Structure 1
Amino acid sequence: MIRNLGLFAGLLMVVFCTSCNPQNKTAQSTESHKPESKYFLTSDSPKSIVRNIEQDSDGRIWIASWEGIFLSDGKSFTNFTKQVSSSRFFSVMEDSKGIMWFGSLGSGVFSYDGKRFRNYTTEDGLLNNDVVSIYEDKAGNIWFGVWGGASRFDGKTFRNFIINEDEMTEDLTGKTFAERGQYEVNSIIEDKSGKLWFATRGNTFVFDGEIFSPVSNLGRAFKNIRSVIEDQKGNIWLGGNDGLWRYDGNVFTNITKDFVGYILEDREGNILTSSGSIKGEKNWKLSRYRPKSLTNKLMISPEILKSDEGMIFGILESKDGSIWFGTFDGVNRYEGNTVNNFKTISSQQYFSKMVASRDDC
């Protein structure tokens, strides 16, 4: 049935696209305009919140959603964890050994080595079973950002680090949180100097292997940071309630005051962000900050698309250059002039959309 619908959709696309007069169209920049939306006749893509997206070393796309972990080749989707767990998933990562890690809300973290799954929870020493972020450091340790702090896993045992108001320290008592702790660790990175950065709902911390130091600018702590990355030049980028910030090792520079949820550096050195209202209203946008614009006092609008789906979550630049991002109701792929929405629609709905598309030609 799906194959027949796909053939029908393709025939419709040919009919309506060839009926348009391309000479009446003017070239548009990919910046600051609403791209055309495309719809696929698919019944297997995620249809709820997609929080994070990862591409593995084989080019496969892994999607962490409220319905499970989905695996995609760019066209079709498989709910990879459907038979393993009914939990909502928040994070996904491939480590240096090729093992996939899936962080859930309530069921801890799952690993998949290509043959079998293994589940780690508080019973194994994980600090909390709500796993928000996953990161592998240069030594091969896997870090799990959870509610209440973070856990470091060396392949055998866990070391846990707990947030206590404005401090973060290692716990040596074996304490775990059956319920959610007060703060969650949203993002973890290791910078070029070997220091680890922890972005949390509370303070942001830098860990030198012994002490967690709060990050501040002019005496004001960076709080409720949702994403932290290091770019190719060694700059640290922080995004959260107070907007987007860049730290060059000496000075913090505020780039925008809009709430920033996710940050990504693409292969050309551009900084991509998702930003908008933290209330989830439909005014979110995916922005691209080009390196040259960041050095100019007059910044050209970096917006490349607006989302009609509310908040934009995890962002991925795939190996083919397309940008994948999650929303409240699934996953999308941005290809410069179009946004592919992997949603289920009937052939009648598809026909209506193609007619509307033709009328706009």
Structure 2
Amino acid sequence: MALYAILQVSFFSTFTSCNGQNNSKKQKEKTIEVGVTVPSLDKTIWAIYQDKSTNYWFGSKNNGVFLYDGQQIKQITVKDGLVSDEIRGFQEDSEGNIFIETERGVSKFDGRTFKTLQIANPESPTNDWVLEQDDMWFRMGFNNNGPYRYDGKYLHFLKFPKSPQEDEFKSKNKNANFRHYGLYTIYKDHKGIMWFGTASLGVCRYDGKTISWHYEEQLQTTPEGGDFGTRAIFEDKEGKFWINNTRFRYNIKPNSTINLDYSKENGIGYINENNEMEFPFFHSMTEDNEGNLWMVTYDNGVWKYNGKELIHYPIKDGETDVLLFTIFKDNKGVLWLGSHNAGVYKFNGYSFDKMF
């Protein structure tokens, strides 16, 4: 899920120079005492976040959170109060509370202790969907048939309305052993509209009034024939959307029907070793401070799109290909990668270096 930080550079610089002593004091007051100091991160890092106090939070597949404060790494687990050690994402509210999403629930950290968010109801009817500016949205596992909305007090489970694609999918996949509405990703765009990427039924979009669906075979099926699901949704600086791969870019139109109204334009590809045009399928995407788009693939490194061409950055750990899960832009615009088999990498301006 994507969070945006608004950097007011000139104001911040003035404020810092005038209040350096106060800022230092606040930083000391925000020192996080929980967890156990460890020498390194877990190899499997699925989520990365930097909070307002500049701490880095790394979420592992099943070994809890790794917190880096610039000097040391601490591992935080269920022993410290987390609801689960299977970490899937981080968010932060206006008061600096950190929300840690896991497979079994959401933990809220106030700087000292963890609190597990309570679920208000087992399942809300379709007409209970609302969209408030300060709400947070969570997946809480892969097999749910909808997202959880947090209103500041409780989590509310919201069941997806029926997708136009459901009946056709069921008829073709009678023996499917997973939930086709299962959530791969949740994304909030610049207008505050919510996007949900499902396992098999494409994209669901909620604008506060209408829940709309969008499905295309080319978004779901890889050239090798596998079902990719909807793993990544991203809005670029022009307000246009990229979904799963670089074949097309989407212009979304206001609509009030169950089918998403849009137009699309050609995206960007590259010539592969067989002299064929190929369009990378990506797990995660972000935009750097210069407006370049960066995409991570699972087993084919990182791709940068500078508005003209795709530039490839292979990522290796020695001779081993690094299997990537996420890309994150920190408070200073530095890019970080989280991987399935080699921990974390950081961009040095030319290439990605393995960290810790």
TM bin, normalised by shorter chain, reads 0.5 to 0.7
Q: Is the alpha carbon distance of 1:244 and 1:151 closer, same or farther for their aligned partners in structure 2, counting shifts above 3 Å?
A: farther
Q: Is the alpha carbon distance of 1:145 and 1:221 closer, same or farther for their aligned partners in structure 2, counting shifts above 3 Å?
A: farther
- Equivalent in 288, 296, 303 of residue 304 of structure 2: 288
Instruction: Report whether the alignment pairs 1:319 with 2:331.
Output: yes
- Equivalent in 230, 239, 242 of residue 237 of structure 1: 242
Question: Which secondary structure does the structure 1 equivalent of 2:231 belong to?
Answer: strand
Q: Is the alpha carbon distance of 1:155 and 1:181 closer, same or farther for their aligned partners in structure 2, counting shifts above 3 Å?
A: farther
- Equivalent in 144, 169, 175 of residue 138 of structure 2: 144
Corresponding residue for residue 313 of structure 2: 304
Tell me the distance in 2 between the aligned counterparts of 1:117 and 1:126.
23
Q: Is the 8 A contact 1:204 1:222 kept in 2?
A: no
* Cα RMSD for the two superposed structures: 3.1
Task: Summarize deviations over 1:340-361 as a string: whole Å, max 9, x none.
Answer: 3245xxxxxxxxxxxxxxxxxx
Please report how far the alpha carbon of residue 258 of structure 1 lies from its aligned counterpart in structure 2 after TM superposition: 2.3
- Equivalent in 250, 270, 289 of residue 267 of structure 1: 289
Please report how far the alpha carbon of residue 89 of structure 1 lies from its aligned counterpart in structure 2 after TM superposition: 0.8
- Equivalent in 91, 94, 97 of residue 95 of structure 2: 97
Please report how far the alpha carbon of residue 150 of structure 1 lies from its aligned counterpart in structure 2 after TM superposition: 0.3
How do 1:68-107 and structure 2 match up within 5 A? 68-81=64-77, 83-85=80-82, 87-105=85-103, 107=104
Amino acid at match of 2:209: E
Corresponding residue for residue 59 of structure 1: 54
Q: Is the alpha carbon distance of 1:73 and 1:258 closer, same or farther for their aligned partners in structure 2, counting shifts above 3 Å?
A: same
Higher share in strand: 1
**Normalization by structure 1: what TM-score?**
0.64
Tell me the distance in 1 between the aligned counterparts of 2:153 and 2:331.
33
Question: Which secondary structure does the structure 2 equivalent of 1:187 belong to?
Answer: strand
Amino acid at match of 2:304: R
**Normalization by structure 2: what TM-score?**
0.65
How do 1:199-210 and structure 2 match up within 5 A? 199-202=197-200, 203-210=202-209
Corresponding residue for residue 214 of structure 1: 213
Q: Is the alpha carbon distance of 1:232 and 1:138 closer, same or farther for their aligned partners in structure 2, counting shifts above 3 Å?
A: farther
Question: Number of matched residues?
Answer: 265
Please report how far the alpha carbon of residue 188 of structure 1 lies from its aligned counterpart in structure 2 after TM superposition: 2.3
Task: Summarize deviations over 1:237-269 as a string: whole Å, max 9, x none.
Answer: 212xx5564223332434342221111111111
Identity over the aligned pairs, expressed in percent?
24
- Equivalent in 229, 248, 251 of residue 248 of structure 1: 251
Gaps of 5+ in 1: 1-41, 128-136, 169-179, 277-282, 294-298, 344-361
Instruction: Report whether the alignment pairs 1:112 with 2:115.
Output: no
- Equivalent in 36, 39, 42 of residue 47 of structure 1: 42
Structure showing greater relative contact order (alpha-carbon pairs closer than 8 Å, 6 or more residues apart): 1
| Deviation beyond 6 Å, 4+ runs, structure 1 | none
Amino acid at match of 1:48: K
Tell me the distance in 2 between the aligned counterparts of 1:305 and 1:74.
27
